[in-house]
Structure 1
């Protein structure tokens, strides 16, 4: 009797039994008299690409900052690679962010006086480690910038600068790469090139990516799209298309669920104690 071997698993569809790269439970964040996040429960599985969308002020950036350890939640639990963030001192949290978390911003945040290679090497140098030239060259080649090591940001296009920023975030081989509108400052052609590269990092290298975006085209490159309204998860799309993402966003924006100030006011009469934050927006 012959047996049939099971089909191989897709590179970007890890087994459900795999522990999540990031786990959020009951995540709540107050900004003064508003509730930017309201009891969010989410898992981001290793080796997957997740887009986070929602109307302006829905809590997307706050979610990203709390998940990446850049901001402390008012309540709830954040785990990165099985490590709970809420019990960490500022020093240990800084070390965890440095070693296990990559973050890419819309505005690139490159140092203009440094070359591409020097910008990429900066996180390791700040950690007291001298990276090898081969290590830096490989990081730049990984994002399609082989041969651009000596170029300064002013000598690179916007898309190339964002690639340098991504290489800098990946040089420490983080467990998860967070992106806050990473294609928001790029034209459509350059945006598509950066999205192709992010998709390849997931499919080829098993990188975990969580990206906030307003763009249905960008979100459609992800494995899953999570929608936030008033700090709560309202819907998810698996295997999204541009049309399905755009239709869901249109429905959310026309539903009239968002208050005029873009945030949900607390339902309890006693405001939470203030929590230090790096961002005053929600």
Structure 2
């Protein structure tokens, strides 16, 4: 099935797809090399529409690279990426920019809001950049969708961290994207605020059918997803469906590399050797070096000469 991009003068060049309508993102034989490092090594994954997927893995496993390639932020070395039925391979930079603008939403750990703009103005920004003049009703509905009704005139400095992240999510959703990508979206939030944001993401999936793909290191966050995909050394190392916090934590522990004993030993500062216990004779005041040596004391009871 061939899909075209909205608000563009021409259709993608001879791009065909057999992706089922229920697949929001499709990755096939995806590789990404950074010099001598193979960040992704033949990844095959489907992200179904209307589902919430978390991607986890040890540091350096390739999860952030996977997100960037899937979202069109980075070009893979080889393989295929489809978003909303559109194949990214062969798209020009301009066409790729239009696709990201119209069909993909982004939420990052840092909120990336413009401090001089109000919440409403930040949310409306993607549409204005696309040459559209959003209606007040449209912006208000976007903010109400994330629980920020009545906060339209507040600037980022007047909002809590959780509220700023909600504004960022509303901004990502204003274009009604096929998929919302999140890179550690709760990483800068405290546990209570993090839970509130995760509740909202979960509701967006359950209530509105939004597709969400989220990279996270937090088992609590991952457990809110429908599925958790694990990466190790750029390859898919398994997945969990209907995950729990305990199951996710146990799987992550099993995937973490075990350092050799020598590396796990904590380096200690050199310790000076312990001095031998000193005797009373050794601690006595030293004999004066000047003058003749004194004769030894006479035995008890003897008279001096």
CA RMSD of aligned residues (A): 1.3
What is the match of residue 51 of structure 2? 48
What is the match of residue 248 of structure 2? 245
Q: Deviations over 1:89-110 (max 9, x none)?
A: 1111111110000010100100
What is the match of residue 74 of structure 1? 77
Structure 1 residue ranges without an equivalent (≥5)? 1-16, 261-282
C-alpha deviation, 1:18, in angstroms: 4.8
TM-score by length of 1: 0.84
Aligned with 1:65 (options 65, 68, 86):
68
What is the match of residue 97 of structure 2? 94
C-alpha deviation, 1:80, in angstroms: 0.6
Aligned with 1:157 (options 145, 155, 160):
160
What is the match of residue 143 of structure 1? 146
1:19 has 2:19 as partner: no
Q: Equivalents in 2 of 1:118, 1:256: separation in Å?
A: 49
Structure 2 residue ranges without an equivalent (≥5)? 1-19, 264-305
Task: Classify the secondary structure of the residue corresponding to 2:256.
Answer: helix
C-alpha deviation, 1:118, in angstroms: 0.4
Q: Equivalents in 2 of 1:115, 1:225: separation in Å?
A: 35
TM-score by length of 2: 0.78
Aligned with 1:116 (options 116, 119, 126):
119
1:229 has 2:232 as partner: yes
1:181 has 2:184 as partner: yes
Aligned residues: 242
Q: Equivalents in 1 of 2:64, 2:165: separation in Å?
A: 19
C-alpha deviation, 1:19, in angstroms: 3.0
The structure 1 segments of at least 4 consecutive aligned residues displaced by more than 6 Å after TM superposition are: none
Aligned with 1:211 (options 210, 214, 227):
214
Aligned with 2:193 (options 190, 194, 205):
190
C-alpha deviation, 1:87, in angstroms: 1.5
C-alpha deviation, 1:33, in angstroms: 1.2
